[in-house]
Amino acid sequence: MKKTTAFWDASALVPLCIEETGSRSARTRLRKFAPVVWWGTFVEIHSALCRLHVSKEISELHKQGAVNRLQLLGRGWREILPHDSVPDLAIQMLDQYSLRAADSLQLAASLIWCHERPARKIFVCADRRLALAAYAVGFSVVEIL
């Protein structure tokens, strides 16, 4: 059975790297939706793992295991590379929605992925603010709970 392709926010991928509340939900979604991500996703997830380690929420051993899972996960996703339209779309998203800069870039990349036609396209997300913006632009949002 072929998976449906979906755009994945970095927040939805972190639970696939480190065990947390949304991990079971994220694994279920991964079995159904093949990830498409923006070009900064690897760095964004690595940053989240480093913050967890620095704050002593995970050990060095757990961080290294999570980084290994991230590398494995990254081999299977499709990455949306930088595109000339991304900054303009990201600025539009910032003007319209209460988003952080990286979230606006992810949403802009997701719009590039679907040729700015998000109807019937899936956006997998664990960030409530970004999920609301993705829904508002027309994506079908699948939240990681």
Question: How do residues 95-112 score in pLDDT, each as one tens digit?
Answer: 999 999 999 999 999 999
**What is the separation of C-alpha 14 from the centre of its chain, rounded to a whole number of angstroms?**
8
Determine the pLDDT at residue 55: 97
Inter-residue long-range contacts of 52-56, CB under 8 Å, 24+ positions, other chains counted: 52/18
**Structural domain count, the chain:** 1
The parts of the chain modelled with pLDDT lower than 70 are 1
Determine the pLDDT at residue 85: 92
Residue 63 CA to residue 53 CA, distance in Å, equals 6
Determine the pLDDT at residue 2: 75
Hunting for tokens 């793992």 — which residue is that? 49
pTM of full prediction above 0.85: yes
Determine the pLDDT at residue 53: 97
Identify whether the C-beta of residue 142 lies closer than 8 Å to the C-beta of residue 118: no
Q: What is the DSSP string of 86-116?
A: HHHHHHHHHHHS---HHHHHHHHHHHHHTTT
What's 115's domain CATH number? 3.40.50.1010
Enclosing domain of residue 31: 4-143
Residue 14 CA to residue 22 CA, distance in Å, equals 9
Determine the pLDDT at residue 1: 60
Determine the pLDDT at residue 50: 98
